C-alpha cells in the first residue's frame, strides 16, 4: 500500500480555496431600506436570526447613517451606491416600503426578484402599491431569545426607547417562499 504525499506548505492556497467555498455555500440576504432605524425596528430580530443561522446579510442604505445599530445585529452595511452592491446574486431580498417608494432602482430590483422563482422576497412597511399585494402573504417570524436581546440593544443604540421587544416581526413574503421567513 502506498500512502499519497500532499504538499501542505502553501497554506494560503488552502485558505483562499476554503474562503471561496464558504462564499458559495452561504445563503445571501440583501436588505434595502431608507434608514438603519427602519431596518432595526421592522426586521432587526429576523436579520439577527438569519445571521446566526449562517446567512450573509448585507443592508444597503442610501446615505451614510449610523451603522452601529446594524452592526450590533451582525449584519454588513453598504452604501446603496457602492460598487459591491451589484456583485453576486442573492437568494433573498428584503425591502422597506419607504425605500421602494423613493427609488426607481429599488422598485425595479423588487419587481425583477418577484419574477424570479428562486429568489425569496420579503417586504415590510405601509404604502405598498396595489399590484404588490398579489401573491404576497403576511408572515410572522418568531424571534429567538437572543434576537430579542440584540434587537433591544440595537434599538437603544439607535436612540429608540424600548422596554421590551415584541416576540414576533411581521413581514410580507412572496407565497412561494412564505415558509422561509418564519423558519429563519
78, with CB counted inside 10 A (0-12, 13-18, 19+), is middle
**Residue 173 near residue 137, CB atoms below 8 Å:** yes
Residue 15 confidence class, pLDDT cut points 50, 70, 90: very low
pLDDT tens track for 90-124: 689 999 999 998 888 888 888 888 888 788 989 99
For residue 169, give the H/E element and its range.
strand 168-174
β-strands 76-79, 56-61: how paired?
parallel
pLDDT tens track for 41-99: 999 999 999 999 999 999 999 877 789 999 999 999 998 877 555 555 568 999 999 99
Residue 17 confidence class, pLDDT cut points 50, 70, 90: very low
**What are the beta bridge partners of residue 78?**
60
Residue 1 confidence class, pLDDT cut points 50, 70, 90: low
Residue 128 in this model has a pLDDT that exceeds 60: yes
Question: What is each CA distance from 165 to 4, 44, 91, 162, in whole angstroms?
Answer: 57, 10, 28, 7
Q: What is the CATH code of the structural domain delimited by 24-183?
A: 3.40.50.10320
**What are the beta bridge partners of residue 138?**
172
Give the global pTM. Answer: 0.79
Residue 140 confidence class, pLDDT cut points 50, 70, 90: very high
pLDDT of amino acid 28 = 94
Amino acid at each position: 500500500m502506498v500512502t499519497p504525499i500532499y504538499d501542505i506548505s502553501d497554506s494560503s492556497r488552502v485558505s483562499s480555496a476554503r474562503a471561496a467555498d464558504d462564499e458559495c455555500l452561504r445563503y445571501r440576504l440583501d436588505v434595502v431600506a431608507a434608514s438603519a432605524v427602519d431596518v432595526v425596528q421592522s426586521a432587526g430580530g429576523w436579520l439577527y436570526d438569519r445571521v446566526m443561522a449562517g446567512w450573509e446579510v448585507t443592508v444597503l442604505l442610501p446615505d451614510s447613517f449610523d451603522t452601529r445599530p446594524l452592526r450590533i445585529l451582525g449584519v454588513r452595511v453598504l452604501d446603496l451606491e457602492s460598487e459591491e452592491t451589484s456583485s453576486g446574486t442573492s437568494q433573498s431580498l428584503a425591502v422597506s416600503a419607504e425605500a421602494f417608494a423613493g427609488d426607481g432602482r429599488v422598485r425595479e430590483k423588487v419587481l425583477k426578484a418577484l419574477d424570479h422563482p428562486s429568489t425569496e422576497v420579503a417586504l415590510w412597511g405601509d404604502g405598498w402599491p396595489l399590484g404588490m399585494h398579489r401573491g404576497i402573504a403576511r408572515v410572522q417570524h418568531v424571534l429567538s431569545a437572543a434576537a430579542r436581546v440584540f434587537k433591544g440593544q440595537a434599538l437603544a443604540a439607535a436612540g429608540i426607547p424600548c422596554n421590551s421587544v415584541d416576540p414576533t416581526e411581521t413581514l410580507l413574503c412572496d407565497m412561494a417562499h412564505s415558509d422561509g421567513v418564519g423558519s429563519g
